[in-house]
Amino acid sequence: MKQLHLISFNYPYPPSYGGIIDVYYKIKALSDIGIKINLHCFTDTIPETVDPEIKSITENVFFYKKKKNPLHYFSTVPFAAVIRNSDELFKNLMAIQAPILFEGLQTTPIISRLKNKGYKLYLRFHNNEAEYYKGLSSSEKNIFKKIIFKVESLKYTHYQKKLLKEFEGVFCLSEKEFNEVHSYSNNARLIHIFHGNVSVKSLGQKGDYFLFHGDLSISDNKKALEETISMFKKLPQHQLVVASDRAGEDLKKKINQIANISLVPIETTENLHHLFENAHANILLSYQNSGTKVKLFNALYNSRFVIINQNITDDSALMGLCHFGSNSDEILQRITETATRSYHENESRKEVLERNYSDSAKAEEMAKVIF
């Protein structure tokens, strides 16, 4: 029986945002090919019960509370990592001899205690964290948060250079991250995002609106939405639906004053899929160059046209399925072009996505490396 320890930075259910989507569907895909998963989760609060969706794809589930002490900001180890350390985790890892997969650098502070214990160690490299926090710092308006993100970026620069050589394999999400890791060490492997989609939805030629969706507590998404709103103010003839469960009161007030823009909650995966199915085109923008965003897969599998800027993906095959604009004027042009166009891209998407980006193929590839 093949067993694997998987250490997650958060409880991976529901799979409602980028990194956690990758974690949940990776566990599911590995479980589907017969690997027994011992799941270790760091959380703010320990859940009273384990969701049946997690129970059905894991062998064991362990929870550890993230440390709350603000003095950890003064550690040389990045804050997101230092709060995810646990004696209990070490004890549970020692109880079952199996390879260990760390989900993101923030789950790795325990690694120094695992040396010479006979465990094979692997890392899912979700982000170049130094670049990620640098991007958050530049997008953030709050000066206090801006400084914190900048300091975290500097800490991660040192932390990841030192740590990346410690792993048997580092599984990267994108070409960009693969090349970055490869420049530090020879253990990089390119395995794209696990996204949970199986087949491209067959949809009619026209949808009802343009769709922007995302977590609006994240500064990069807030900045992208501000840009999108400013464009749709110039296009009163076209409807924009903004879908998010995390919109502040200021944003709600702002959107209420614009006739052609509406804000709706997502709440469930079913609701999000319903929004995708009725959208004519999706607006996906980012100001952080951190590889392919998981929301791109969701839009390509489940909706019609997808309009992106250069930071949504660095994968040429995926870019070929999208409508690209390098600045606001070009994106505005893509919006007006797709608004009148009929959608006929089902077959070309199936050809690319179902053949090259399936979760089951990625799980098999990862298992070959680990076992």
Domain map (residue ranges) of the chain: 3-196, 209-354
Alpha-carbon distance of 299 to 308, in angstroms, equals 11
Q: Please enumerate in sequence order all residues whose Cβ is within 8 A of that of 21, keeping only pairs 6 or more positions apart, or say none.
A: 15, 193, 194, 195, 196, 294
**CATH number, span 3-196:** 3.40.50.2000
* pLDDT at residue 129, as a whole number: 87
* pLDDT at residue 200, as a whole number: 96
Are 82 and 61 within 8 A, CB to CB?
A: no
Backbone angles phi, psi at 119, to 5 degrees: -100, 135
pLDDT in tens, 286-333: 988 777 888 999 999 999 999 999 999 988 999 999 999 999 999 999
Are 177 and 292 within 8 A, CB to CB?
A: no
* Angle in degrees, CA 317, 167, 18, rounded to 5: 45
Are 284 and 242 within 8 A, CB to CB?
A: no
pLDDT in tens, 55-70: 999 999 999 999 988 8
Are 233 and 258 within 8 A, CB to CB?
A: yes
Band (pLDDT 50/70/90 cuts) for residue 205 is very high
Q: Please enumerate in sequence order all residues whose Cβ is within 8 A of that of 108, keeping only pairs 6 or more positions apart, or say none.
A: 81, 102, 123, 163
Work out the number of other CB atoms within 10 angstroms of the CB of residue 237.
8
Alpha-carbon distance of 332 to 2, in angstroms, equals 51
* pLDDT at residue 10, as a whole number: 96
High-pLDDT (> 70) share of the chain, %: 100
pLDDT in tens, 81-97: 999 999 999 999 999 99
Q: Within its chain, how far is the Cα of 53 from the centroid?
A: 20
Per DSSP, the chain holds a count of helices (H) and strands (E) of 16, 13
**CATH number, span 209-354:** 3.40.50.2000
